[in-house]
Amino acid sequence: MSEVSYLDLPASIKQVDVTDLASILRQFPEQLEAATKEFSQLQLPADWASCQQVIFCGMGGSAIGAELACDLPAEFIRKPLLVVHDYELPAYADKNSLVVVITYSGATEEALACWQAALKRGCKLLVVTGGQKLADAARAKGVLCYHFNYPTQPRDALGYLFAPLLRVLVQARVITPAQADLTPAIKQLKKLVPQYDLANPTDKNLAKELAYLVLDRVPQIIAGRFLAGVAKRWKNQFNEHSKSAAWFDLLPELDHNTLEGFAWPPRYADDTIIFLLRSSYEHPEVNRRADIFHAWLRAKKILVNQLVPAVGGDWWSEKLSLVLLGDWVSYYLALLHRVDPVAIPNIISLKQQLRHGKTV
């Protein structure tokens, strides 16, 4: 029982979580509130309504909010939406395109390359950043900028990197103001935070229980298109918080390939855990396939934890409730691994080598 009680020992946790990431995780609802209020004070250009497509540019934790925002039910996607994780804008990006450059640091080279390209092509532009230098450069060019101040790792400032994008989609006439309302989601999140927080003991805390299930296994997160960004978020947080290998896959595509990949190596069934994320907003056939896939996995004796349904009664409540849970699970897994959930030494090392022209 000593291992089970570890997540309930504040003194032990402080030795691992030296920067108190838990205090950031529990502020997620307040991040959303603050960002929504701050961004509402910006006057958005009227001509965004006439844009032909919306292109979001960013990397890693800076860009995951764009993926969450763009994964809408198909019948509500009124214009093409694209998230660029690269150095180049697509050839069709022009004066009729709205380009949103998102970089927490203001120094992400891929995002900055897209920023320069968007300027040259005369695209409609918005910059979302926590970096002063880029904010100053945007304003000097007459480009609208949402500059926020929230010191943490980009992945844990999601509220500031996500909430403003919903108003962008409203202004671009992709969704309606009612569809962009985060009020119910924030209310739901405030109820969920105490359930996942450190003070709630393991036997009553779903996030802690799931972290123990993942321990010494490779998590694979499965979802449909509506929750694709959420599944990726879980994968990324396991990577960065927990320093764990993790993968995500999507229905119905996985039925056409991944399904045949569970036989080898034979130890796979013992070494993995599959999280099947569910939403009432997925296509009915996707959820039917998920039920069949779940039964198939059980028959193969592959450990599954099925999260059905996501909590809430609207798009953002369902998505963000699962985001919150995944963030806490990855945090607790980091503690079980005895690794700092904030530190990213390998990513920093790679960036330093790139900066100095070295090869790995």
pLDDT single digits (tens) 123-158: 999 999 999 999 999 999 999 999 999 999 999 999
Q: Tokens in use for 181?
A: 């309302």
- What average pLDDT does the chain have? 94
Q: What is the pLDDT of residues 93-129, one digit of tens each?
A: 999 999 999 999 999 999 999 999 999 999 999 999 9
Q: What is the pLDDT of residues 206-233, one digit of tens each?
A: 999 999 999 999 999 999 999 999 999 9
- Is the per-residue pLDDT at 4 higher than 80? no
**Residue 269, pLDDT score:** 83
Domains and CATH numbers, the chain: 2-19+183-337 (3.40.50.10490), 23-171 (3.40.50.10490)
- Nearest alpha-carbon partner for 16 in 26, 24, 6, 25: 6
Record the pTM.
0.95
- Is the per-residue pLDDT at 297 higher than 60? yes
**Residue 3, pLDDT score:** 53
Mean pLDDT of 332-354: 92
Q: Tokens in use for 226?
A: 């509506």
**Residue 359, pLDDT score:** 54
Beta-bridged to residue 250, according to DSSP, are: 223
Q: Please, which residues have CB within 8 angstroms of residue 244's CB and are 6 or more apart in sequence?
A: 214, 218, 219, 238, 330, 333, 337
- Nearest alpha-carbon partner for 227 in 156, 312, 161, 316: 316
Provide the CA 142 distance to its chain's centre, in angstroms. Answer: 30
- In this structure, how many other beta carbons lie within 10 angstroms of the beta carbon of residue 38? 16
- Is the per-residue pLDDT at 90 higher than 70? yes
User: Coil, helix or strand for 164?
Assistant: helix
| pLDDT above 70 as % of the chain | 96
Cα–Cα distance for residue pair 166/299, rounded to 1 Å = 41
